[in-house]
Amino acid sequence: MLDKKKIIYYWCPFIGSVATVDAVLNSILSLKKFSNENFEPYILNIVGEWDKKIEYLNERNIKVINFRSSNIINYLPKLGFLKSRFTYFIIFFLSILKLHKILKKNKPDYLIVHLITFVPLLLILLNNYKTKFILRVSGYPKLNFIRKFFWKIVNHKIHLITAPTLTTLKLLVSNKVFKSDKIVYLPDPILKIKEIQKKKKKNNIIEKELSEKNSIVSIGRLTKQKNFNFLIDSFFIIQKKYKNLNLFILGEGEERKNLENKIKKLNLSKKIFLVGHKKNIYDYLKKSKIFVLSSLWEDPGFVLLEAGYLNKIIFSSNCPNGPIEILNNGENGFLYKSNSIDSFVENFEKLINCNKTEIYKKKLKLKIKCKEFTLLNHYQKLKIILN
């Protein structure tokens, strides 16, 4: 039992629909659900980015500290590389002094840092706080020279660094970015079992073309990272042989127009469907045959885990970092060489021709692996970190 309630601040400014947001919410929910009120978590709402989720937060009694009275995020550009960088600069400018004052005045026990990490890490480099900073590495980190240099000089001020997969942990250790004794494995809290079971029971009316016999589903923001351009090109090849196949892509993003043009150019408008962002992805997963992940990088791959928990056949690129670890080099699903159409086609054939017993074994192994990413398992590891 803790002597007193510990105050935890979550820093996660975001400008679009990213999986890290769900990871933050689920991490807070795990503390509230399992900790017997030993921890008191707060979300820092920098430019109004959390306002759109205020009803969800209020229903679950999640406390928010607002940096400003107006939701400036509504007036900031979100799509495109240059526009998003401009928005990051605005967030930096509007938040750095405010965060400094809050940390000095409120002295929370911990600040868990997700996304736009430069702001809090610069502050900790220039100041001394009673608050312990925990850097949560979200997604596959690109260790360019600037990031490695900055992380190294701030290393001595950071309390701990958490990695969402063992592969990422090994990457950080091998590159000697941080001291190895400061890096810990903390799986993202992705799977809310009761909520999944509840959503599975819903039967919303969706596209008539969706079928467990012939439908492939892929889910993610329509960005370069998700590599849907490649997926469409690969699907164009396999549908020539498997003529009844169709492909559903769930998500929104800056690549939508390009993807629409490609689909029309390849004359696949009756076989590939861009259905936009969906609140309940389980309607599509449970009624599909195969889940495909075509990303250039993932860590760990939220939807991959959700699809695995729903007993779907997983067909994924061997991109760094999460898919290889989660699928155990193909033991828990099917892998193809990232960005290789030849490998995609070859391994899709293996999937189609795989016997039912082998597929059942892969699904079972994956479901066992998925349990590492439940709220309860996340909490059990997080409470050790926070003690």
One DSSP character per residue, 300-349 reads: S-HHHHHHHHTT-EEEEE--TBHHHHHTGGGTSSEEE-TT-HHHHHHHHH
335 with 351, same domain? yes
Binned at pLDDT 50, 70 and 90, residue 3 comes out as: low
Does the pLDDT of residue 103 top 80, yes or no? yes
In a domain, 210, yes or no: yes
User: Which uninterrupted H or E stretch holds 290?
Assistant: strand 290-293
244 with 219, same domain? yes
Q: How do the residues of the chain divide into helix, strand and coil, expressed in percent and rounded to 5?
A: 50, 15, 35
Q: If you search the block for the tokens 């699903």, which residue do you land on?
A: 333
183 with 240, same domain? no
Looking at residues 106-117, what average pLDDT do you find?
A: 96
Q: pLDDT tens-digit profile of 35-45?
A: 988 999 999 99
Binned at pLDDT 50, 70 and 90, residue 298 comes out as: confident
Does the pLDDT of residue 153 top 60, yes or no? yes
Does the pLDDT of residue 2 top 70, yes or no? no
In a domain, 86, yes or no: yes
Range of the domain at 366: 193-372
Short-list 195, 190, 148, 164, CA closest to 25: 190
171 with 201, same domain? no
Q: pLDDT tens-digit profile of 64-84?
A: 999 987 788 887 877 677 778
Mean pLDDT across the chain: 91
Does the pLDDT of residue 329 top 90, yes or no? yes
In a domain, 209, yes or no: yes
182 with 252, same domain? no
In a domain, 119, yes or no: yes
In a domain, 133, yes or no: yes
Give the per-residue pLDDT at 380.
95
Binned at pLDDT 50, 70 and 90, residue 205 comes out as: low
N-to-C CA span, the chain: 10
In a domain, 1, yes or no: no
Binned at pLDDT 50, 70 and 90, residue 1 comes out as: very low
234 with 300, same domain? yes
How far apart CA 289 and CA 351 sit, in angstroms, is 11
139 with 282, same domain? no
Does the pLDDT of residue 163 top 80, yes or no? yes
**Total domain count for the chain?**
2
Q: Please answer whether residues 84 and 90 qualify as being in contact, where contact means their C-beta atoms are separated by less than 8 angstroms.
A: no
Residue type, 32: K
Does the pLDDT of residue 353 top 60, yes or no? yes
28 with 103, same domain? yes
Q: pLDDT tens-digit profile of 178-194?
A: 999 999 999 999 998 88
DSSP state of 374: B
Does the pLDDT of residue 245 top 90, yes or no? yes
CA dihedral 368, 191, 245, 250 (to 10 degrees): -160
158 with 228, same domain? no
How far apart CA 10 and CA 78 sit, in angstroms, is 22
257 with 184, same domain? no
Binned at pLDDT 50, 70 and 90, residue 86 comes out as: confident
Q: Could you give the percent of the chain with pLDDT greater than 70? A: 98
In a domain, 17, yes or no: yes
Short-list 160, 199, 164, CA closest to 183: 160
212 with 289, same domain? yes
Could you tell me the CATH number of the domain that includes residue 143?
3.40.50.2000
* Nearby residues of 158 by Cβ (< 8 Å), 6 or more positions away: 121, 124, 133, 134, 135, 178, 182
Does the pLDDT of residue 100 top 50, yes or no? yes
In a domain, 269, yes or no: yes
69 with 114, same domain? yes
Q: pLDDT tens-digit profile of 45-62?
A: 999 999 989 999 999 999
The whole-angstrom distance between residue 327's C-alpha and the CA centroid of its chain comes to: 17
Task: Read off φ and ψ for residue 70, nearest 5 degrees.
Answer: -110, 150
Does the pLDDT of residue 13 top 70, yes or no? yes
